[in-house]
Structure formats: C-alpha cells, structure tokens
Amino acid sequence: MHRMDATADRLLALFVTYGYVVVLLGVFLDNFGLPSSGDVVVVLAASLAQRGDLDVWAVVVVALAAAVASDHTLYWIGRRGARGVLGRFMERPWMASALAAGERFFARHGPKALLMARFLAAVRTEVTFAAGVSAMAYREFTLYDLLSAVLWLAVLVPLGYFFGVEAERVFGGYTTALRVLLAVVAVYAAVRLFLWLVKRRRGASLDERSRGG
C-alpha cells in the first residue's frame, strides 16, 4: 500500500509539473502500440483540470492536436509506405493478417469506421492504418478523423471532471481515487501486454509456416 501511495504521489507530481507534455505524448503514442493509454491520460488530465492544477481548454487543445497528428501520421505511413518502403514488412503473414482485419472493418463500415474505432482501442490503429492503405480521400479522412477526436474528447473530458468531483466523496480523497485508477490502468496494461504477446506468438508461428512452405 505504501508503494502504491508513493506511486500515486509521483504520478500526481509528474502530471502537475509536465501535464501538457504527458497528454501530448500519451495520446500521440497510443496509436503505435506503445505502453500508453490516451484514454486514461485524458481522463486523468481532465480530473486535474477540475482541481485547478491544469487548464481544461489547454488539455482539450493538446489532446486534440496529438490525436489528429498521430492519426494522420499513421494514415500517411499506410498510404505511402505499406505498398512501398514497408512492402516487404507488410508481407509478413502476421502483419498481413492484422492489416486484413483492419481493412475488412473499414470496408464493412466505410468512413464511419473511423468514428467507431476511436472508441475501440483493439482496432483503432488497424482501422486508421487501413484508411491510408485503402487510399481514402484525404479530405474525407481529415473530416471524419477530426469529428471522431472531438466526440472522443466530448466523452472523456466530462468523465475526468466527474472523477475529480467525486474523488473526495466516493474515495475519501484524490490520492485514494488515483490509487484505484492506477490499479485499473495496471490491469488494462497487463491485458494489453498479454494480447500483444499472443499476437506476436501467432505472428512468429505464421512466419515459420510461410518459410517452411
């Protein structure tokens, strides 16, 4: 418990000192399979804004810019790189399988897939990448991507504010509430790591089969 308290205190100090940088990096890197959850980062930042430690509109602007920049980076990697520079890498069976799943989701739902994927972490990266690979019109991609990011923040920022307001009443203090949130994040990270390891193992198996064949 003492270690969790210390972790919560350090995290709180980190956010208060470097809050906007944490939001920028946390949201931007979320698309690239790194141990980062843009959803949790935004909720936590909004709760700190409710406490007066950060400015809520600055959180919104930074998170929106990071989300759009991340998506557009992935879009252009898919559009310019998947069939070119990254062509050989994309031909690996496990990568081709992941891309095919994203392309099927995108083909089934069209541009609305971008709106849906924003709230579905399991397919968010694949669908954005598939939009680029499929050469979705850039203007249309920009419109739907921006709309999805705005809707995403319209849900998460009020959720963070509610978390900040209710922390004292429900948990008896913000630090205690932060411990609960850390526990949730730990479980989320463990599940995400497990799924990544399973996907990687399957990918290695597919690669071995393709080389053997």
> What's the pLDDT tens digit per position in 103-162?
666 667 677 777 777 887 766 777 787 788 777 889 988 999 999 999 999 999 998 888
Average pLDDT over residues 203-209: 53
Residue 184 vs residues 14, 36, 65: alpha-carbon distances, Å: 19, 13, 26
Q: How confident is the model at residue 89 (pLDDT cuts 50, 70, 90)?
A: very low
Give the chain's domain count: 1
C-alpha torsion sign, points 18, 21, 26, 32 = negative
pTM greater than 0.85 (yes/no) = no
Q: Chain centroid to CA 106: how far?
A: 18
Domain that holds residue 84: 2-212
Return the pLDDT at 131.
Answer: 81
